[in-house]
Structure 1
Amino acid sequence: MGSWTRVFNDGKPYLAMVLMQLSYAVMSIIAKSALDRGMSPHVLVAYRLAVASVVITPFAFVLERKSRPKMTLTIFVKIMLISLLEPVLDHTFFYTGLKYTTATFTSAMCNILPALTFALACIFRLERVEIGRVRSQVKVAGTVVTVGGAMLMTLIKGPILELPWTKGRNHHSGRSGTSRVHNKDLVIGALMLIAGCCCWTCFIISQARILKSYPAKLSLTALICFTGTVEGTILALAMEWHKTSVWRIHWDIKLVAALYGGMVTAFALYTMGSVMKKRGPVFVSAFNPLGMVIVAVLGSIFLAEEMYLGRVIGSIVIVIGLYLVLWGKSKDQPQPTPEGTVARADRQTDAINGCIENPNPESITIER
């Protein structure tokens, strides 16, 4: 009985990450379906953040009521600024890119986050590149490979790949579905996704600094969700001021997208925070390509998305670059000393599954 308990405890982090990637994949499919049915990306962001605020705030209020530091005007202004980057602008760019492309393409492009984080950290001198060391050479090579894979996905289409469950269906149903993504839309969507990744990366770098002066991670997340809701609503009102009908929510896929998106955010925050405490950011990041595979399968089944050889090859190239960067980052982690203590080291922002995480294993970030 003890061995089974040990196996279950050891397997919980893996099960948690698989469930998280599955929830992200389902969210991508639901969001894409809602956007294809006319839902505004700006409205979706506002509603999703509102739901996330309602879900997260009670936990922050109760669990950190004694440990929450005093709020100052300076900290509050910083929170407002970073919440504009993520989740408002990041989610807006993400959903706009999703609307112009496909769920599979969007999920694959998100794998450029680790490489982009590394590049921006180097630009802002937050990451030291010792070109004589193998780990730095691998991280630079992984960044170049990832960018090349993203360009390959965007510019090269290739022949359609027939899957067992889509054989004979793609060419017929795709005409009125997701296959109408033209090259122009694909480029616009790719640029939107890259812009969203840049916002997310800047947010993570900024969040790492704010946590030093406001270490209440759950309360910080709730404040970011709340201020993001206000800012996202203002942005949506400005962008959709002539379309009051876009705010109407009925009992349809649009309501599901708003509610499910908020709950996924809360679930992901708890899951990643718990797993990162035990296994670290590299472990979490390594599961990101799994979400891409799940989205590709679900997208081809429920959205009739066509898979092209060029985009599959580009996705594989991106994943190779991802793991090169993650390998290099793993070598930056402090190694245990013979006495069992952990050596101190400066650690930069790392990337997650999906997505990016803060280098502090106990940090919590907003996720898609």
Structure 2
Amino acid sequence: MKNCDEWKPFLAMIAIDFSLTMVNILLKQVLQKGMNHLVFVTYRLNRRPRLTFQILCYLFFSAIIGASVTQYFFLLGIQYTSATFACAFVNMVPVITFIMALPFGLETVNIKCLGGKAKILGTFVCVGGALVLTLYRGKPLFDVSHYKATVPPVAMRSEGGSSGRTAQKWSIGVIALMMGTLFWSFWFILQSKIGKRYPCQYSSTAIMTFFGAMQAAILGLSTGTNFSSWILKDKMQIITVLYSGIVGSSMCYVGMSWCVKKRGPVFTAAFSPLVQIMSGMIDIPVLHEQLHLGSVVGSVLVMIGLYILLWGKTKDIMQNTATKLLQETQQTKEQEPQV
């Protein structure tokens, strides 16, 4: 039974990553057809819960960071780049989470031990991969010209535009993804703090999504979004909103909050590379998105850096556990009565 409990966080994160993969693919499809970002965020998060005053103050800021702002930036990034490329930025979340966790005391680094050195090396490798993703796009790796007949008209018009405008949109998408990555990393830190003060994942997720929906709706109305944009026009938009709201927001947020409580923020964020792998397997043959050399090189560096960091974290955990057991053994011997 104990071994089964130890595997539950792993299985939960794999299921969450597959669910998020499907969310990204559906998002790219409806955004490519012209759906408004803020309208989608509002519909996705609108699962009205019963509010409790005790935790409103704790979760309002979490809703801004993890629900409203993060999703808006990632939606903008996915629209202007691709689902697979956006997932590459998600892979940076564990390393950025680790860096942010240091001043809060959630993570430690001992440069004298092997685990601490691995954490530092993994961080630098991941940052190098992030720079490659941001600054180097590279040549395309696949010929998608034979897919043109199946690509929606909106996508064909965007591909037929000027290369300068395409490059500008790509740059905007990269900046948006960088901002979304920073906000999401901070959300893991914030969620770790909230989980200690209010460990009820279902209630906290319900309240956070309610706040997020209200914040996105207010932002959408204040920016002058056309009222016709709030009407879901086809089955794909309805399916995407329902799936993203029920699975992508509610169930995945509950699962991630539970995993943060069980194994910590870095463990939870460590499964993000699975989303990119799954997205790539669907993105290229189904949505006919192009894959560039810079994306592959940068993604590989980010993954290598990520798992070097995780290896270092595992070494630290093993060393700390051994030290703790040794101290407990010594204390037990000291407390034994002398014969």
TM-score by length of 2: 0.80
Counterpart in the other structure of 1:40: 36
Counterpart in the other structure of 2:304: 320
Counterpart in the other structure of 2:294: 310
Give the drift of 1:176. Answer: 1.9
CA-to-partner distance for each residue in 1:285-334, whole Å, 9 max, x for gaps?
Answer: 55422221111121111211011222111111111111122222223435
Q: Do residues 143 (structure 1) and 143 (structure 2) align?
A: no
Give the drift of 1:84. Answer: 1.0
Q: Do residues 262 (structure 1) and 245 (structure 2) align?
A: yes
Counterpart in the other structure of 2:321: 335
Q: CA 1:33–1:20 in 2, change beyond 3 Å: closer, same or farther?
A: same
Aligned-partner residue type, residue 94 of structure 1: F
Work out the CA distance in 1 between the residues paired with 2:202 and 2:34: 34
Gaps of 5+ in 2: 329-339
Q: Do residues 87 (structure 1) and 70 (structure 2) align?
A: no
Q: CA 1:186–1:261 in 2, change beyond 3 Å: closer, same or farther?
A: same
TM-score by length of 1: 0.74
Q: Do residues 243 (structure 1) and 226 (structure 2) align?
A: yes
CA-to-partner distance for each residue in 1:263-285, whole Å, 9 max, x for gaps?
Answer: 22333245456667877766655
Aligned-partner residue type, residue 117 of structure 1: T
Matched-pair contact (CA < 8 Å) for 1:178–1:306: no
Aligned-partner residue type, residue 179 of structure 2: A
Q: RMSD value over aligned CA atoms?
A: 3.4
Matched-pair contact (CA < 8 Å) for 1:85–1:200: yes
Larger Rg: 2
Counterpart in the other structure of 1:96: 76
Q: Do residues 120 (structure 1) and 116 (structure 2) align?
A: no
Counterpart in the other structure of 2:27: 31
Matches within 5 A, 1:171-182: 176=156, 182=166
Counterpart in the other structure of 1:183: 167
Gaps of 5+ in 1: 62-69, 342-368
Give the drift of 1:214. Answer: 2.6
Q: CA 1:46–1:153 in 2, change beyond 3 Å: closer, same or farther?
A: same
Work out the CA distance in 1 between the residues paired with 2:309 and 2:189: 17
3-state SS of 1:204 partner = helix
Counterpart in the other structure of 2:337: none
Which of 219, 230, 237 is the equivalent residue of 2:203? 219
Work out the CA distance in 2 between the residues paired with 1:18 and 1:294: 11
Greater helix fraction, Structure 1 or Structure 2:
2
Aligned-partner residue type, residue 186 of structure 2: C
CA-to-partner distance for each residue in 1:48-99, whole Å, 9 max, x for gaps?
Answer: 001xx25xx48xx9xxxxxxxx844xx4233212211111101111111111
Counterpart in the other structure of 1:356: none
Q: CA 1:219–1:271 in 2, change beyond 3 Å: closer, same or farther?
A: closer
Work out the CA distance in 1 between the residues paired with 2:229 and 2:209: 22
3-state SS of 2:275 partner = helix
Q: Which has the higher contact order (CA 8 A, sep 6+)?
A: 2
